[in-house]
Amino acid sequence: MNDDINIADIRAFVLIVKAGSFTAAAEQILCSRSHLSKQLSQLESALAVKLIIRTTRTQCLTEQGKLFFEQCSRSFDGVDYAIEQAINDAGTVKGFININCVGGYIGEDIIAPLVSDFIQQYPDVKVNLDFSSRRVDLIAGEFDIVFRMGQLEDSNLIAQKLMDISICTLASPGYLQKNGQLSHPKELKQHQCITGSLNNWSFINVKTASKNIDVSVDGSFKCKNGRAMINSALAGNGIVRLPYLYCQQEIANGTLTSVFTDWAVAKSPFYLVYVQDKYQPARLKAFIDFVRNNIARYNQTS
């Protein structure tokens, strides 16, 4: 082996490729972008080979870079697996778990307490719980586990359904008194609707079980925060559609009331999602099992 080649520089190269950019790679290992750039330059100089072509906006692998990355990535995966196995074989559940979850009631009142109790049981595990609503890429490795509500797209992921969540269409009594009661979803087009990420609402007739009716809705307020949407509906700004978990208190005290009697929204599945990996660390397996076995205790109603 060439003594001028530093294994740390090869690690840095593999990380840069997997992360997709110098900036993303630097954020993952908490170092500067310039440090990674220096490591790559050292590696390319030692190999006398150009591995990555960089411009101000993009980066791409050379042919030599592609071959080198494939070989090195496989080798490091093997080393990482050996390290994981050494830790797991010791019979300890330890390390970091990065989790992304929907916010609001589900994240704050169900998942966060569940994570807290998991840490009590496994004190050598450190958990980062992120409530950002942006789309995340599990394959890229930024998060180990995500919790998602609704239908999923990527079949390369493992999705374990934890529960079905009831969805309600609500308004304040004052709004309905001022703007009139509704009898059919199509009438939503004549009303102000408070929306989150979806502007197309589907309904099914509970008496006839007829095919879904889809309605495009609009309004003066759009927000992806459940509490803000509830507050807007309480103020009489329009009709809102939310999980029952988010607004059960307002329904119970009558400050929000159901808009329809004959029309309902299909329940939304809630999933725990992770990447299929035969080398799954013990900490992830322990957390997944803990969630499946205990989530019912944290969710008293859905």
pLDDT of residue 212: 83
What six digits make up the tokens of 277?
């990996």
Q: Among all chains, which residue has been given the structure tokens 């529960």?
A: 163
Tokens 């992304």, residue?
100
Q: What's residue 98's pLDDT?
A: 93
pLDDT tens digits, one per residue of 158-170 = 889 999 999 999 9
* pLDDT at site 243: 92
262: number of CA atoms within 13 Å, CB side?
11
pLDDT 10s per residue in the chain (302 long)?
A: 566 788 899 999 999 998 888 888 888 888 898 999 999 999 999 999 999 988 777 788 999 989 999 999 989 888 888 887 776 654 578 889 999 998 888 899 999 999 999 999 999 999 999 987 777 777 667 789 999 888 777 667 888 999 999 999 999 999 999 999 999 999 999 999 999 888 899 999 988 877 789 999 999 899 988 899 999 999 999 999 999 989 999 999 999 999 998 999 989 999 999 987 766 788 999 999 999 999 988 775 54
Q: How far apart are CA 58 and CA 40, in angstroms?
A: 16
For the chain, domains (ranges, CATH) are: 7-89 (1.10.10.10), 95-163+269-298 (3.40.190.10), 167-266 (3.40.190.290)
What does the pLDDT read at residue 59?
A: 86
Taking the CA atoms of residue 201, residue 205, residue 211 and residue 215 in that order, the dihedral angle to the nearest 10 degrees is -20
The backbone torsions φ and ψ at residue 95, rounded to the nearest 5 degrees and listed phi first, read 115, -165
The dihedral of CA 44, 50, 53, 55: what is its sign? positive
Distance CA 176, CA 234 (A): 12
Side-chain half-sphere CA neighbours of 45 within 13 A: 9
The string of pLDDT tens digits covering residues 197-221 is 888 999 999 888 777 899 999 998 9
- pLDDT at 55 (0 to 100): 77
